[in-house]
Structure 1
Amino acid sequence: MMQPMGAGPSTSIFEKEDSITGLNFVAWFFAQTQKDPNFYPLERSTITFFNVMNFKTINQRFSYQGGNEYLCRFRDELQKLFEGEKVLRAGADHLVVISLNLSVEEIALRIKLLNKAMTSYEKGLRNQIKAGIYIADGTPQQPIVMMDRASLACREVHGIFNREYAVFDEELNKKHEQKQYVLEHFDEAFEKGFFKVYYQPIYRTLNKKVCGYEALARWIDPNRGMISPLIFIEVLEKVHLIHKLDAYIIDQVCKNLRDDIDGGYAYQPISVNLSRLDFELSDIKKVVDNAVAKYNVPKEYIVLEVTESAFASDQESLGDIIHCFREDGYQVWIDDFGSGYSSFNNLQTYDFDFLKIDMNFLRNFDKTPKSKVIIASIVDLAKKLGIHTLAEGVETEDQYEYLKRIGCELIQGYYFAKPMPIDDFHNKRAELCGFETNETPAERRYYDDMGRINFLDNSPLTRKRMDVTNEIPIALIEGENRVYRTIFANKAFYQEIRSFGANDINEVLSLLTPESALYCFKRLVYSEEYNETVEYNLILNNSVVKTKVRFLSRMGTKAVYAFMAKNISAHEKK
């Protein structure tokens, strides 16, 4: 454990007192408990380990002297909030509280108050302080083990904005133990073939036929059964071994695809997930090309899913590789769209064939109406950009029907099928591998062309021009003392009113008879109810014009209305 550089004279953590904060060091405190059992009843204590997020930023902004001042303020707040308990320094930006009299709930409250106080501190930079809590069980334990468990709990909430602390428990202990197992047995699992490829079918919403598969890595351990990918993928990414696993999955996918082709079965495009580290630690393009050449499979049947987190760094290089993949005939999809802060920037910067909507939008589908609006907006945006759409995590009939209605083309989730090993498909070939349940290549092209239609657009048949258009003629009209002016009008509105001889709203009103004009606004001029609407048909210059006026808002003597007009006669002639 190191002190911040530039923090004054070097002090060993095995000395009694920290020269910066004046606190006792944890290492010294633990050494005393080992020497003298009566020094402190550690076996009955609760250890809370604190870590300042992005502490380097404080040092960079305010110099190391400013960082030291921050630590002293941090110490002061802890001593005030945890009066009567032991507050210690663990090195770097870590402070520790060892308490005998506080419950987890009481500690959690103090953590919240600590963050509130440190956020208001001028050198706080809105840095969040995370904490891990370990509760001793009353049996003698090695102090370093207790500290490690509190630290481990703290690491559980790193990067999770809405969680300030975690408590070490049996579940966390098991998760940690599994991670250690992954580190120690990865090579063995790789060499002995414990990693298997599971395939989850992807379905077309319009015909409910299989039109693709996603390849997913599974670790089937002879002693532990299935090890969760949430465990081993995180570990392999952390120790920079994930590219080795992904290369193996790509090879197996190409092999399985070759087997289906040779066996005369209905094969489909298969997507494989690429990590950010695949681009950094390997020549991923070469890895894919070699596997495709080795098994002689069509490139258009290999889909590369790039998760949003991959775009966090080295964007230019990543963009070049994606471009090369697509130029060579591979499909490239963006995975987990909407899960990251840079979703829309990625659409602006890169070209994709498909956009996979993050499954989290469907988790609260029934309880949160906003989810439906967001999903529809994503589908609408993707189609305007010429990108196909897929929703993952579909689990109910209602979700499926909604996605079909808004024009989301493909779906994936437990509603249709769970991920399965290749043997399950082989054992159910008649059911899973025939053209009765799978799209043919001709069907795929046929339905992909259908998928370009945007059912959410008010002009779904208009050829997309990378432009934002609205074919509904609409204007915002402001009125004051029966004098009206146009605040906004779209192109369609001006085209419509010109078709019956008017150039602006005042000319439209001048064409009305006094009685009609009075009828037009009489109910709305003094309206206070948002969205109150009047609809009517008028004869203007021998044209039948359908008109709708809606009151929007009032400010003093001014009022604003939405005004829509459609020349029915002109449209009937067309």
Structure 2
Amino acid sequence: MHRTVRDEYVGYTIDYMREVAQLAGLDLHFVPADSELDAQRLLAEGRVDIYPGLCPSPERRATYLFSRLSTGCMTGTILVRENDTRFAHEDWATLGRVRVGVEAFNPHIKLFRDKCTSQNINPECVQYNGVPALIHALDAGEVDAIVVNEFWSPAKTRCIARFAPHPVYVATLASRPDIMARINEALEQIAIHQPGFASSLYIRYFQSGSEERPLFTRDELAFLATKPRLRVAYESGRQPIIAADPETGQIQGIVADIYRQIEAFSGLAFEFVCLQETEALREMAKGRVDLLAFVLKDPHRLEQADLVASQPFLVTPMVLVTRRNGGPVRRLGLRQGYATSSVFASRHRAQSVFFESMEACTSALLAGRIDAFYTNLPNAFDLQRSNPVLKITPLNDDIVSLSCAAPASLDPRVLSIINRCIQHISAGQMDTMLLDNAAASGPVTVRLFVWHNLGLVLAGGFAIMASIVLLVWYIMHVRTQSSRRIQELLFVDQVSGLGNLNMFYREALALVQNNQHRQHALVCLDIVHFRHVNYQFGYEAGNRVLTAMGRRLRAWTGSGECCARLSGGHFACCLATRNWRELEGRLQALGEDFGRSCREQKFDSSVRLVAGIALVQNLKTPLYRWLDQANYARREVLGKPGRSFLVYNRRMQHEQQRRKTLEERLELAVRHQEFVPFFQPKVNMLDGSLVGSEALARWQHPGEGLVGPAHFIPVFEASGTIDKVDFCIYEGVCRCLQEWRQQGLQVRPVSCNFSAISFRRANFVQRIVETADRYGIPRNLLELELTESAFTNNAQVLASRMRKLTKEGFAISVDDFGCGYSSLGQLQHLRPQILKLDRSFISNGLSTQQARLILSAVISLAKGLDVDLVCEGVETREQIEALIALGCQVGQGFYYARPMPAEDFARILEKGFLK
């Protein structure tokens, strides 16, 4: 629970009690308390009537009445500072050696001590009065960890362990049985009519949505350090869940994106192979396949196949598939080996016919050998797209969950790591996966309306996903009495009042086809940092923004146009426009109107409206392609400060295709060592002697020849895969150093560039050390270089990595120093051994006396901190003389040499100097 900037209370308990109050006819006024002890005091003194969230005990039952049903579950949570890298997940051993803050008079003190006793640890406990005091003590460094009764992690903290979950109840004074009777009745109504209510609140307020990275146990980290590569089997033709692109062969779909996110979180590597399930199980038994990409979580089937499943990442309804205008179901196709098959068979008087695969069921249905079969909604969606003769009938209550599965013999740490990553995929990341794959999969049919809710079922945990699906199917169950309401749910977003993605495809397609004489544009709108509104002002405020945006867009669009809400703060419009100037003016007016509204409501200035635009030019191109292009332009404008909208153009088209081609080639390029280091000398400007070099990435592309870094590094940085290039270059440097030393050359230190993505990998330090040791390279010959701008996020995490590497004997260099992100405090915190002055100092900083004074001060600062200084971008003799006069000795730039291949640089090593 927290108070928004508008002085409104939001949170799990607040929403729960508001629902109770509405059902019980109570008028609630929330009173803040500093701690649980303070809340009990307010209740005992009669200053409050209700305390929701109290754990009963014999002593408390003598004073208070407790509700018959609990309102949720609380758990002990151990928090540490977000930049404290000493702790792994469930790291009780380290916890036993530090100071731990606990809340005075809180029952969890005993539970925490009991847990410590079971772990054979005895940490020093320091008591504080209330959670705010605990958080302040942690932030100030008075303690190393704190224990709270919360699911959430405040800013600048992270959770390393949870313990002792227990139910909590609503409490009143024993003298108020009248209030408790009404509360008990309300809680019973919630339990009967809203069984998923508590789960929905848990997902809203406690499910990981901060996009923080998962924390692994030390045992899991040791496994990840082995750089495991896992083969994942998937069945063909499961778009938009998972499928191979028919043109490129690249694996795509929602499940594929989930696996890529797991890779980014953990460092696991997945290789996908297309196999039918029966063949995949045979290959798995031989040790040639490690995981099934997704399976129905059927306990009977899993036990029969000796498989272990991960946590669910998708819940989907089951449907009955028949032929259109088919007769009664006399022969029912069922999957062999599934417990659910016997359940479905019992519902029909039909003959059961068993098949090994869903494809066999489909073939039998199309050939008339069976009349129907059951499958899950994504499979049915894919089948109906390719076989329009099929009819899909939704069932009332049947849902299934999808998980990945592994043989029982596989190292259990694999699923443990995967489960931890699934828990940390945020709603925002799920929204993006859904939007990208929904656009690629085209429009859906009315009978498949649940598919547009897939973002909801993907975005949360299993319980709430199940309740959402059950709610939808309950609505279908009563559709004969409320068909108008169902049609509204089919096509209308319930918050904004606009159409949803399904409605948008339907309306936009009709508008474009029926008005071919008019120019149309698809516009993807995005409320940037919409999450900030939810957090700062509460979810009700966020919903008000969406509702107002719906009204604004309805007024903004005219006759022959349509608009819809896609997900989160994303909207789409199909506009009729005469020319670009008119469209530009409309978008500017819309953005200004939205900006005024944000300022009036005192939202953060970063909350703004941006748009990506695609001009519809070829009616033969599917509508979802245009939406995909508009969405690509929307993402492009997010990276361009000062711009509010961009039109998808030929350059973006080429860039999009180029990026896609590069990303598809990356794995093969790394395997074939196509990324090679080029070396640019670092020279003592006083005498021309060689003091070292910097390794710069080049791509020896088999089709395009030598490709410079500007053409591929931004692509891989954006996709989060640049670390693969970094380590490919680093290993190439180690290989060169090994060869030069074997040749008897006098080798100088080489600096290797690493992205912030690489530095943040949990096994980064270990990989650096192991690679150097494998090639027998002394640590003093390797400098690890990171750009200064990388420290704008997670500076303390990166600094911790730098300290570890320094202890291992590596020199750390900060590149582009002075380009706008530094501060003296940050420099003191990072403690690098080498600073590389940004080339702008050289190109622009030697023209005036004032500029020279500034540069001289930077050089003096580096000397005072005992940090070596390298001046980049040296191109003229005049610059060299000026730098020497200012006290800088080491330079690097085109004046001495351009980056060169290893064989050319070896000749410079032989001479040992450059003129």
What TM-score bracket applies, with the shorter chain setting the length?
A: 0.5 to 0.7
Counterpart for residue 870 of structure 2? 390
Matches within 5 A, 1:423-462: 423-426=903-906, 429=907, 433-437=910-914
Aligned with 1:92 (options 564, 568, 571): 568
How does 1:197-216 map onto structure 2 within 5 Å?
Answer: 197-216=677-696
Deviation string for 1:123-146 (max 9, x for gaps)?
A: 532113222222233453111111
Corresponding letter in the other structure for 1:68: N
Q: Percent identity?
A: 27
Question: Does the aligned pair in 2 maintain the 1:357–1:375 contact within 8 Å?
Answer: no
Out of 737, 740, 763, the residue aligned to residue 257 of structure 1 is: 737
1:62 equivalent in alignment to 2:537: yes
Q: Give the Cα–Cα distance (whole angstroms) in 1 for the partners of residues 877 and 675 of structure 2.
A: 33
Please tell me whether residue 28 in structure 1 is matched to residue 503 in structure 2: yes
Residue 486 of structure 1 corresponds to: none
SS of match in other structure, 1:161: coil
Residues of 1 paired with 2:799 and 2:669: CA distance?
33
Q: Which residue of 2 aligns with 1:49?
A: 524
Q: Distance in 2 between matches of 1:367 and 1:43?
A: 57
Match of 1:121 in 2: 600
* 1:173 maps to which of 653, 658, 665: 653
> Deviation at 1:332?
0.8
Between stretches 348-357 and 279-288, larger displacement belongs to 279-288
Find the counterpart in structure 1 of residue 632 from structure 2: 152
1:377, CA displacement in angstroms?
4.5
Cα separation, partners in 2 of 1:189 and 1:136, compared to 1, 3 Å = same
Aligned residue number for residue 101 of structure 1: 577
User: By how many angstroms is 1:51 displaced?
Assistant: 1.3
Judged with a 3 Å threshold, the aligned counterparts in structure 2 of structure 1 residues 315 and 91 are, in CA distance, closer, same or farther, namely closer
Whole-angstrom distance in 1 between the partners of 2:828 and 2:538: 38
Q: 1:352 aligns with which of 808, 832, 842?
A: 832
Whether 1:71 aligns to 2:550 is no
Matches within 5 A, 1:154-553: 154-230=634-710, 232-237=712-717, 240-312=720-792, 315-339=795-819, 341=821, 343-359=823-839, 375-395=855-875, 399-426=879-906, 429=907, 433-437=910-914
How far apart, CA to CA, are the structure 1 residues paired with 2:892 and 2:579?
A: 44
SS at match of 1:133: strand
Q: Secondary structure at the match of 1:207?
A: coil
- Deviations 1:289-343 (CA, angstroms, capped at 9, x unpaired): 2233333333212101123354355555543432232234321111232346454
Cα distance, 1:147–1:287 mapped onto 2, change above 3 Å: same
CA distance in 1: counterparts of 2:570 and 2:817, whole angstroms: 36
| DSSP 3-state at the match of 1:22 | coil
Number of paired residues? 434
Distance 1:436 1:280, change over 3 A: closer
TM-score, with normalisation over the residues of structure 2?
Answer: 0.43
Asked whether the equivalents of residues 331 and 353 of structure 1 are also in contact (C-alpha less than 8 Å), the reply is yes
User: 1:252 offset after TM fit, Å?
Assistant: 1.7
Query: In 2, distance between residues paired with 1:371 and 1:199?
Result: 30
- CA deviation digits over 1:470-523, x for unaligned, max 9? xxxxxxxxxxxxxxxxxxxxxxxxxxxxxxxxxxxxxxxxxxxxxxxxxxxxxx
What is the Cα-based RMSD across aligned positions, in Å?
3.7
Structure 2 contact 498–565 (Cα < 8 Å) conserved: yes
TM-superposed deviation, 1:152:
0.8
Question: Given residue 384 of structure 1, which amino acid in structure 2 is its aligned partner?
Answer: G
**Contact 1:388–1:409, Cα closer than 8 Å, also in 2:** no
Helix, strand or coil for the counterpart of 2:523? Answer: strand
Show structure 2 runs of 5+ residues with no match: 1-434, 436-454, 473-485
CA contact (8 A) 1:305 1:332 kept: yes
User: How far apart are 1:269 and its partner, in Å?
Assistant: 1.1
Distance 1:396 1:49 in 2: 49
Distance in 2 (alpha carbons) for counterparts of 1:109 and 1:49: 16
- State the distance in 1 between where 2:813 and 2:603 align: 40
| One-letter amino acid matched to 1:200 | Q
**C-alpha contact 1:334 1:352 (8 A) present in aligned 2:** yes
For residue 538 of structure 2, give the secondary structure of its aligned residue in structure 1: helix
Q: How far apart in 2 are the matches of 1:217 and 1:232? A: 10
The answer to whether the 8 A contact 1:179-1:231 is kept is no
In the superposition, the TM-score normalised over structure 1's length comes to 0.65
Output the CA distance in 1 between the equivalents of 2:564 and 2:734.
56
Match of 2:21 in 1: none
Provide the secondary structure at the position in 2 that maps to 1:131.
strand
Amino acid at match of 2:572: V
Note if contact 2:524-2:572 (Cα within 8 Å) is conserved in structure 1.
yes
- Check the 8 A contact 1:33/1:42 in 2, yes or no: no
Q: Secondary structure at the match of 1:156?
A: helix
Cα 1:102–1:215, aligned 2, differ >3 Å: closer, same or farther? farther
Moved more, 290-299 or 309-318: 309-318
The answer as to whether partners of 1:395 and 1:415 remain within 8 angstroms in 2 is yes
Name the CA distance, whole Å, in 2 between partners of 1:229 and 1:40: 46
